[in-house]
């Protein structure tokens, strides 16, 4: 049962593809009331906004159901060489559902058009300009741009720095070989694989990379998160910093490293140049539109708050409307092996949906904060060319 209209995405906790990597699985959604059915790919992923623990979910994306469908849908998974005709199978599937007796509702997250918003939640209602006091030097209102390096000027103007051919094969290939041993498109589940994977740590703390990042932010940076998937996260438009404590206040950056040529159909990284100067999404403002039950909800066995995931249903359309209202361009990062993109913690960006599910997007992502702006991460070490936060998560 779902409260959204025009259902088009369902996420179910679990990982049905675990141990079935070679099997062709297809998801079928059937509306109980009308018998309308939709078929779509089944993709294992980490839910939006969740970067820790062992949680995985299966995402199903289908053409949107029309008005009048719902609120009860049945979800089936079929193994077949070719995508089945969901509508032709719908009567038999509903008949099968009728023989199953009372079934508990599936603990799924559903996305479509929120019935209770009607597009009424605007970006200005979710965001605010942060206090400029204490911002990094390049984020100050007045800066002598004549004294800046080319990278610093691009950072101040666009909120990104592009470094073509910055990392060599001798640095990347040992990690690629190690990562190929992980039989999951999303890579390691652990949010800090740099603790155990030396080949990864060597890349993310590469001295020339750290030197540029330090010059952009204005202090030594500290690695504290990696995303090692070779598929798009499909995390929709957001700013990283609103998921961090308020004391971070701009002293944040992330790095996207291409490990191969990025296929345009793989779901490339997309961003809005200059959007790091927009108001910042504010957690409390975003959460005000949640129900009390949603605000208290946590995810799986990790105890992580689910609000970044649940609120995406209205955060995304609010940001899309803001992009349209400002008439700004969006860009894709179609890197070649060794290319690096560094982005601002307040840059609006997303992992776009792949045009062809299953196409690899070989990349490595690292998130960093200034060492003086993470009192919640007191344990850190220095290795190669920079600091990293120390955690005791096992490598999984």
How far apart CA 148 and CA 105 sit, in angstroms, is 58
Highest mean predicted confidence (pLDDT) among 233-242, 244-253, 330-339 = 330-339
Does 271 or 35 have the greater pLDDT score? 271
pLDDT digit string, tens, across residues 78-133: 888 888 898 999 999 889 888 887 666 555 666 665 444 435 889 999 999 887 88
Same domain as 82, residue 127:
no
**Where does a domain end: 86, 114, 142?**
114
Which has more pLDDT, 54 or 61? 61
Q: Are residues 78 and 156 in the same domain?
A: no
Q: What is the domain extent for residue 304?
A: 123-389
pTM of the model: 0.74
Q: Same domain for 231 and 258?
A: yes
Q: What is the domain count for the chain?
A: 2
**Do 108 and 133 share a domain, yes or no?**
no
Q: Specify which residues 340 forms β-bridges with.
A: 163, 257
Query: Distance between CA 85 and CA 380 in Å, rounded?
Result: 54
Alpha helices in 144-302 (DSSP H): 150-158, 169-179, 198-204, 207-217, 283-287, 292-296
- What pLDDT is recorded for position 117? 43
Reported as a pLDDT band with limits 50, 70 and 90, residue 388 is very high
Backbone angles phi, psi at 180, to 5 degrees: -65, -15
Residues 21 and 160 in one domain: no
How many Å apart are CA 389 and CA 376, to the nearest integer?
10
Q: What is the mean pLDDT of residues 249-266?
A: 97
74 with 138, same domain: the answer is no
Intra-chain end-to-end CA distance of the chain, in Å: 33
Q: For position 19, what pLDDT does the model report?
A: 57
User: What are 183-228's pLDDT values in tens digits?
Assistant: 888 899 999 999 999 999 999 999 999 999 999 999 999 999 999 9
């Amino acid at each position: 049962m779902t409260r959204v209209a025009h259902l088009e995405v369902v996420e179910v906790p679990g990982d049905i593809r675990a141990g079935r990597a070679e099997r062709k699985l297809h998801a079928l959604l059937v509306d109980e009331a009308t018998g309308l059915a939709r078929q779509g790919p089944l993709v294992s992923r980490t839910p939006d906004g969740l970067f820790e623990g062992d949680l995985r979910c299966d995402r199903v994306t289908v053409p949107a159901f029309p008005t009048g469908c719902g609120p009860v849908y049945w979800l089936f998974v079929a193994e077949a060489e070719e995508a089945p005709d969901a509508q032709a199978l719908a009567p038999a599937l509903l008949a099968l559902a009728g023989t199953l007796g009372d079934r508990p509702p599936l603990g799924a997250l559903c996305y479509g058009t929120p019935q209770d918003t009607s597009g009424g939640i605007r970006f200005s209602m979710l965001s605010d300009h942060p206090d400029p006091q204490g911002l990094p030097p390049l984020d100050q209102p007045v800066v002598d741009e004549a004294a800046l390096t080319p990278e610093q000027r691009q950072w101040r103007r666009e909120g990104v720095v592009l470094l073509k051919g910055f990392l060599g094969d001798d640095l990347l290939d040992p990690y690629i070989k190690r990562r190929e041993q992980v039989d999951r498109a999303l890579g390691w589940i652990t949010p800090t694989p740099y603790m155990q994977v030396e080949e990864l740590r060597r890349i993310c703390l590469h001295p020339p990379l750290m030197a540029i990042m330090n010059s952009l932010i204005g202090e030594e940076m500290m690695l504290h998160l990696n995303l090692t998937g070779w598929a798009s996260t499909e995390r929709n438009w957001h700013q990283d910093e609103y998921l961090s404590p308020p004391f971070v206040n701009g002293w944040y950056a992330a790095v996207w490293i291409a490990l191969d040529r990025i296929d345009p159909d793989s779901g490339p990284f997309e961003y809005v140049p200059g959007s790091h100067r927009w108001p910042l999404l504010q957690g409390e403002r975003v959460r005000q539109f949640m129900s009390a039950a949603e605000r208290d909800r946590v995810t799986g066995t990790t105890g992580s708050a689910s609000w970044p995931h649940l609120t995406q249903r209205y955060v995304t359309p609010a940001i899309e409307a803001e992009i349209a209202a400002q008439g700004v361009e969006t860009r894709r990062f179609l890197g070649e092996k060794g290319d690096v993109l560094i982005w601002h913690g307040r840059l609006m960006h997303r992992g776009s949906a792949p045009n062809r599910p299953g196409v690899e997007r070989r990349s490595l992502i690292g998130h960093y904060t200034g060492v003086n702006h993470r009192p919640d991460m007191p344990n850190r070490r220095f290795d190669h060319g920079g600091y990293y936060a120390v955690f005791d998560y096992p490598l999984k």
